[in-house]
Amino acid sequence: MFMKNMTKIICVFSFVILLFVFITSSYGDNQVEGAMVVNTVYNELKDSAYMYVDENDSLALVYLLKAFKEETPQNPRHLYDAGALAARLGQKRLAFEMLEMSVNKGYSYYDHMKKNTNFPSFDEVRFNLCLDKVRKRDSLLYRVSEGLDSVFKLDQDIREQFENEILRKGKDTESAEAKIILDSMRIIDDKNLEYVNKLMDNNGFLGNSLKTKKSKLTMYLIYLHAPIEVLENKLGIIRQAVKNGELEVQLYPNFEDKILSIRKGVQKYGTQYRVLNGEVVFVPLLDSLNVDLYRSEFNLGPFESFAKWIKGQ
């Protein structure tokens, strides 16, 4: 049992480091299976809209509004951009409708919003009321980011210690020295999870709206390390985080795969692996014939390419 837990920790540590490099450079069984996270039609319409921004604002706005008819918009940035387009096109009513919806859903890019001259040209008082709400949320997110940076450091430092002091030196992973580090890791993980849970309860999942690179990843990492029961309980909120733009779509499959791998011993998207005796071993695939189709929904490349890359690391 100890070795089993240890190999999971090694896997998580290796994946986290690789993931961070990548990012900075560029339930129950029924709950996991079949839940719609990505609306591909919405995304196609939204992507078409952004292709036409500045080149043909009218067409860009049409595509965004079509996307909103396909699925009720949750991402405040998409709503704000629709409002900004409407304002540029002189459509006051639609502009403020979109703007106020975006602010109510947590739009938090104050420096960008305050530069807009089209909204205040219609109604400066109404615009400033929205701007003040965004300023306050922006300020909150800066404070939250500082706290999550500290959580990130605790999370990574203890894993780096295990890597450097035990694994790289070829020491026995069941030794007393290893056990001390692993016990410390569990204590740190519990405290970090408690901290993040309180933030989640008050603010929902926070990621891309945060203000530092490390803080953007912290909630993701803490829940990826969390006990399976916690992850199952929070999966609905994590799904919502994809829709409102807080979590990168490519990161979500790790959560479903972790649940499936623990509960059923298989995975759908091919994200989970362990390092055993120096070899990378992937959890068996639920459906190897269609794994690339499942991965494509989340903008992930072919499984074989990913597996080759991981093993090459």
Mean pLDDT for 42-50 is 97
Q: What's the pLDDT score for residue 35?
A: 58
As a dihedral over the C-alpha atoms of residue 165, residue 155, residue 19, residue 240, rounded to 10 degrees, the angle is: 160
Domain with CATH 1.25.40.10 in the chain: 40-138
pTM for the whole thing?
Answer: 0.83
Work out the number of other CB atoms within 10 angstroms of the CB of residue 263: 14
CA distance 208 to 206: 7
Q: What's the pLDDT score for residue 32?
A: 52
- What's the burial of 23, exposed, middle or buried (CB within 10 Å: 0-12/13-18/19+)? middle
99-112 confidence digits (pLDDT tens): 999 999 999 999 99
CA distance 142 to 152: 15
Return the CATH class of domain 40-138.
mainly alpha
Q: What's the pLDDT score for residue 191?
A: 97
Instruction: List phi, psi (to 5°) of 212.
Output: -130, 155
Confidence of residue 1 (pLDDT cuts 50, 70, 90): very low
274 pLDDT above the threshold of 80: yes
132-159 confidence digits (pLDDT tens): 999 999 999 999 999 999 999 999 999 9
Q: How far is CA 157 from CA 17, 64, 188, in A?
A: 11, 43, 10
